[in-house]
Amino acid sequence: MIGGRPVATISEPDDLPDRPPGRCTASIEGEVAKVAHSQADENSVEAGGYRQELERTLGSFQVFAISFAFISVAVGIFATYDDVLRNAGPVGIWLWIVAAVGQALVALVVAQFAARIPLSGSSYQWASRLADPKIGWWFGWVTFCYLAIAVVAVDNALASQAFMPLAGIAPDEDTARVITLVVLFVQAVLAIASTRLVSMINTSAVGLELGLVVVLAIALVAAVVITGRGAPGNLASRGVTENAPGYFTVGGGLMLAMLMGLGTLVGFDAAANLAEEAKDPHRSVPRAIVGSVVAAGVLGLLFLIALTVAIDDIPRISASGSPVAAIMRDQLGPVMERTLLAAITFAFFGAGMVVLAACSRLVFAMSRDARFPAHRLMRRVDPRTHTPVAATILIFLLGVVLMIALPGDALLELITASTILPALIYASTVVLYLAVRRRLDRRKGAFDLGRFELPVAIGALVWSAVALFVLVTPSDAFVPVVIVAGLVVTGGVFFLALLAFDRQALETEPGDVSVFEH
């Protein structure tokens, strides 16, 4: 039992086709296994009280690609490496290891939930079923705020940091906003058209990114050896921060270097939001969650080491608006720089599309439990494309509003605030796990930490507290913290409205179809 609900048991179906004459046993057994897995996957949704409406098209690597694309290690480093050089100097890259280990602990805890409740809505579903529907609603609201802002943040960065330099367009905020809206529109159309199409594009982007990071790391090291420009000593240098005051203090330069890892190694739970579209989700989704963090952590560290060793002039590179591109240009020439920008643009596009898809699935999941505005519309799945069309359009429209309504400084502060939200969500998820772990079933063959679950969960809790502390203590974090508080208050208003006018929606167990009849 999970949260008072029986877990669907996987049994071989009785209506398998008779064995055709001449067919080999191995072929028949493979067909039997496919049918059994397909029925078991559908049973996991039906056991949650829902009908299987979304189409299961995502294989193991495609599920991994969803989480890895959300993390997008090359994109994250491309966007934040300059902050590390200016605040902590090149030596600050070593804090990436601390962030990677900490986020991996959180991912292991998240994977424990994903293996047992593989439903769209991830933490919203887990908290609703294992704690209380009201608590689950808050998980859903905070996650929705984070994902809705993240879509805009990724696509705006695509426009201003990758596409415009690639196309030779001079920096201009209005131009970047127009490009952002065009990208959002294209992503929404693709996400509505087909999950399989989204997966194909995203898988291609991830494959390119994985290859790019490895090839660039090797090429940079080779260039340093051949030309002699660059130095291994950069790895221990404080660079332009050598005489900076307060370097080792709380909120000081060294601590700020951890923001690169905290801002990049997030979103690994995106695969859980698309669990109802994954094949064999009890295994593939948890593996994708953990595997994406480990892969991003290792590849990111290798890339950072190669970049840092390849710096020929630390002050000049630190002052550059795009240090990664500048290092590529210095060591490998302008052609490689443009190749990098093209690949980063594609990676940005894939990441933004994954965030949009994950957010739409969360809206869909909350709406089918009548816990989201206009839920009857937002829960509809198109019978041809098997995608939640209205929920996807909603995310696009919110992006349009943010792009048009918010001035530059306000948009930047909102995006900065969104880096606090995932840390808050992960910390709450770890606390939830520690509170309910004794009630979790052990599913045969599913991901399970076994006797390591308690030490891992405690380690994840300690790390989550550290991560939140790092994010909220810098002097310029005041406004983002106020914005996060404002988002929580906004959610509180809607929560009170539900209590006043639709209390049943917050008190009914998720998956209870009677909630749609009132």
H helices of 253-374, where? 253-256, 258-264, 270-273, 281-309, 314-319, 323-332, 334-367
Contact 333, 129 (CB under 8 A): no
What phi and psi values does residue 386 have, to the nearest 5 degrees? Answer: 60, 40
Per-residue pLDDT band for 42 (boundaries 50, 70, 90) equals low
The number of C-alpha atoms within 13 Å of 414 and in the hemisphere containing its C-beta is 23
Give residue for tokens 């919203």.
124
Separation CA 516–CA 518 (nearest Å): 6
2 strand-pairing partners: 5
Task: Name the burial class of residue 61, with classes exposed (0-12), middle (13-18) and buried (19+) by CB atoms within 10 angstroms of its CB.
Answer: middle
Question: What's the CATH number where 88 sits?
Answer: 1.20.1740.10
CA-CA-CA-CA dihedral for 400, 406, 412, 415, to nearest 10? -50
pLDDT digits (tens, 9 = 90+) for 223-235: 999 988 999 999 9
Q: Classify residue 39: in a domain, yes or no.
A: no
Q: Classify residue 27: in a domain, yes or no.
A: no
DSSP-derived 3-state class of residue 5: strand
Q: Classify residue 208: in a domain, yes or no.
A: yes
pLDDT digits (tens, 9 = 90+) for 14-26: 444 444 444 444 4
Query: 85 pLDDT exceeds 70?
Result: yes
Query: 124 pLDDT exceeds 90?
Result: yes
Structure tokens, 363: 């809206």
Q: Classify residue 366: in a domain, yes or no.
A: yes
**CB-based contacts of 461, cutoff 8 Å, min separation 6:** 427, 430, 431, 434
- pLDDT value of position 13: 40
- pLDDT value of position 20: 45
Q: Classify residue 12: in a domain, yes or no.
A: no
pTM for the structure as a whole: 0.87
Q: Classify residue 70: in a domain, yes or no.
A: yes
From the list 115, 66, 47, 180, the residue with the least C-alpha distance to 443 is 115
pLDDT digits (tens, 9 = 90+) for 483-510: 999 999 999 998 888 888 777 777 777 7
Separation CA 501–CA 4 (nearest Å): 27
The helix, strand and coil proportions of the chain, stated in percent and rounded to the nearest 5, come to 75, 0, 25
From the list 481, 464, 202, the residue with the least C-alpha distance to 357 is 202
Q: Classify residue 414: in a domain, yes or no.
A: yes
**CB-based contacts of 415, cutoff 8 Å, min separation 6:** 149, 152, 153, 156
**CB-based contacts of 165, cutoff 8 Å, min separation 6:** 322, 325, 341
CA dihedral sign, ordered 222, 225, 230, 234: positive
Count the domains in the chain: 1
Q: Classify residue 14: in a domain, yes or no.
A: no
pLDDT digits (tens, 9 = 90+) for 280-294: 998 999 999 999 999
